[in-house]
Amino acid sequence: MIRVRKGSPPTELVTYRASLDSTADPPRAARYDGPGFELVKPRVREALVRDQRGLCCYCMARIEASESKMKIEHRVPQRGPSGDASRDLDWTNLFGACCGAIPRASGSAVTHCDSSKGDASISIDPSEDTHTRAISYERNGRVTSSFAQHQRDIDDVLNLNCDELRARRVDAVQELKQWLSTKYPDRGYPSDKLRLLRDKVLSEPEGRPYLGFLAWWLERAATKAAR
Cβ burial, residue 127 (10 Å; 0-12/13-18/19+)? middle
In a domain, residue 56? The reply is yes
* Count of structural domains, the chain: 1
In a domain, residue 5? The reply is no
55 forms beta bridges with 62
Looking at residue 189, its pLDDT comes to: 83
In a domain, residue 109? The reply is yes
Q: What is the pLDDT of residues 68-95, one digit of tens each?
A: 999 999 999 999 888 999 999 999 999 9
94 forms beta bridges with 74
In a domain, residue 2? The reply is no
Which residues are within 8 A (CB) of 226 and not within 5 positions of it... i.e. 6 or more apart? 191
**Gap between the Cα atoms of 133 and 130, Å rounded:** 5
Looking at residue 128, its pLDDT comes to: 98
In a domain, residue 6? The reply is no
Q: What is the pLDDT of residues 102-150, one digit of tens each?
A: 988 787 899 999 999 999 999 999 999 999 999 999 999 999 999 999 9
In a domain, residue 196? The reply is yes
In a domain, residue 3? The reply is no
Cis peptide before 103 (omega within 30 of 0): no
Containing domain of residue 62, as a range? 11-225
